[in-house]
A and B are shown apart, each in its own frame.
Chain A
Amino acid sequence: ETGVTQSPTHLIKTRGQQVTLRCSSQSGHNTVSWYQQALGQGPQFIFQYYREEENGRGNFPPRFSGLQFPNYSSELNVNALELDDSALYLCASSSMGLAGQNEQFFGPGTRLTVL
């Protein structure tokens, strides 16, 4: 069974640039959620995708957008990067529709630094 993978591992961008982060979900999972974790904080929910549709969104501005592909992999796009976007971005996959089976499995994360 293949776990959740993310790429790239680390990324350095400058303010105003755009970035795309990628996630491959665990085999058999159809739901991908993205989280932002600032240093010393708990993960904050950005949005979730289920069957290629956005299924929920946290308190993040529209410059945070995403996609889910037919193979359930996903992308997180951030436009007009700001210094405060520097964080660890975590992707989690799970299986929507299985009652009680909401255990989310996290990828290793992408560390984004905005200068």
Chain B
Amino acid sequence: ELKVEQNPLFLSMQEGKNYTIYCNYSTTSDRLYWYRQDPGKSLESLFVLLSNGAVKQEGRLMASLDTKARLSTLHITAAVHDLSATYFCAVDIENSGYALNFGKGTSLLVTP
């Protein structure tokens, strides 16, 4: 059974601090996706990581992929309140076209 596990599931951090969200998965997929979801809203694509060693950065967020370890990280630098949201990682479901299997999400709250 394909598993995608995120930790932590809940994260409260102060503005200005750094932190990392971890995503472990059980397939041999070499592609991984990060999405953001604000309360009551849909999913916004943040990063698409397409190969081992891929690193992408956008503003205060940086994502990386290690396919050998089956691990992706989402690093937050100098957090600001606007980053408060739920972050999901996802991998391709084998034999289902390009459908995605999501983790349970990490609910991030950035406080003053």
Contacts and interface: CB of A to CB of B under 8 A. Distances in A.
Interface residues of B, number: 26
B104 interface: yes
Interface stretch (A41-49, A60-68, A70-78): A41-49
The DSSP consensus for interface residues of chain A is strand
A48 B97 contact: yes
Nearest to B107: A40
The DSSP consensus for interface residues of chain B is strand
Nearest to B98: A102
A83 B81 CA distance: 36
A109 B93 CA distance: 21
Interface stretch (B14-22, B42-50, B59-67): B42-50
Interface of B: 4, 31, 33, 35, 41-45, 48, 50, 88, 90, 92-93, 95-105
Rank and list the top 5 A-B pairs by shortest CB-CB distance, nearest first: A56-B96, A42-B102, A102-B98, A106-B43, A55-B97
Interface of A: 31, 33, 35, 41-45, 48, 50, 55-58, 90, 92, 94, 96, 100, 102-109
28 contacts: A31-B97, A31-B98, A33-B97, A41-B104, A41-B105, A42-B102, A43-B88, A45-B93, A45-B99, A48-B96, A48-B98, A55-B97, A56-B95, A56-B96, A58-B93, A90-B42, A94-B98, A100-B31, A100-B50, A102-B33, A102-B48, A102-B92, A103-B33, A104-B98, A106-B35, A106-B45, A108-B42, A109-B42
